Amino acid sequence: MPFQPNHVKLFAGSGSTLLAGKIASSYGRDLGDVVTARFSDGEFQPSFNESVRGCDVFLIQSTNQPYDNLMELLLLIDAARRASAHYITVVIPYFGMARQDRKDKPRVAIGAKLIANLLTAAGAHRIMTMDLHAAQIQGFFDIPVDHLDASVIFVPYIKSLGLKNLTIASPDMGGSYRARTFAKFFNAEVVICDKRRKRANEIESMSIIGDVTGQDIVLMDDICDTAGTLAKAAALIMENGANSVRAVCSHPVLSGNAYETVENSALTELIVTDTIPLKRPSSKIKVLSTADLFAKAISIVHEHGSISGLFNVDQNLNTNN
């Protein structure tokens, strides 16, 4: 193919090859060729197997564990910059370390800010991500950030279930804004599960603020890690007379015994996206793809358009039902 100024090229990090392939297919082109040399001690060196000079490069990689995913992404950004790419957009479907967004106790790092600095120092010109754990992380960057909202994927699916007595729930106080925002799409009430933690990933107690009797509950969260909070909230909701309980979580981190916890829980289903690939299938986990949403965003960004239309649920009712 002859060189085209500002020609778009999409590349995948090794941690997001499946999603990146779907994004590229939806966008209408093949993924670019990336090769990774590995040394016997675990060191690795990714490189582009084709020219990116003068191109608008989109690098697709979630920064979930292991940290190799983040390091690989940083190396790819640096490689693209040194190979004279025209513009480097880093597509991070799941932005790892986003829970470290502030100093919540003495002598701790603000990991999300550190990652923002690293991505910028490596040579990224723009960040594209989805459902940050804390929306203010956008302000950690001195480069543009496109923060996509998975509601345009989740709302059509929830509507398709035809739940007659829908109530939206937050599994903790911190997620109440997210739950209220989601509830507006259905004109639904909101209840909150108030939890107290002993330490990270360990809950001491939980209570419900609001009435769930006879309701079909949908729990809203951005990250499902151990699934302990969701399982405990689902059990409590059912004990208080709900008809059913589901959970919607953007990012299926699902660490430790999370799969067993979900499968043994009172949840009818856990609805997630493919920002992080599942480690194994589960009859209770429903995966909705973000590929079309990211492909649309990439097309709009390349054409210097406005992405505000991507936040309009009515315009995206056919996206990944």
Q: Give the angle subtended at the CA of 110 by the CAs of 106 and 113, to the nearest 5°.
A: 160
What is the DSSP secondary-structure string of 113-125? HHHHHHHHHHT-S
For residue 129, give the H/E element and its range: strand 126-130
136-160 b/e with 16+ CB inside 10 Å = b? ebeebbeeebbbbbbbbbbbbebee
Task: With beta carbons less than 8 A apart as the criterion, state whether 212 and 169 touch.
Answer: yes
Q: Is 9 a catalytic residue?
A: no
Dihedral sign for Cα atoms in the order 206, 207, 213, 216: negative
Greatest C-alpha distance within the chain: 65
> Which residues on neighbouring strands pair with residue 192, listed in sequence order?
170, 209
**Which tokens sit at 317?**
């009712």
Catalytic residue (choose from 9, 195, 232, 296): 195
Which of 58, 53, 7 is closest to 31 using CA atoms? 58
* Rounded (to 5) percent helix, strand, coil in the chain: 35, 25, 40
Q: Quick count: other Cβ atoms within 10 Å of Cβ 69?
A: 21
Residues belonging to the active site:
195
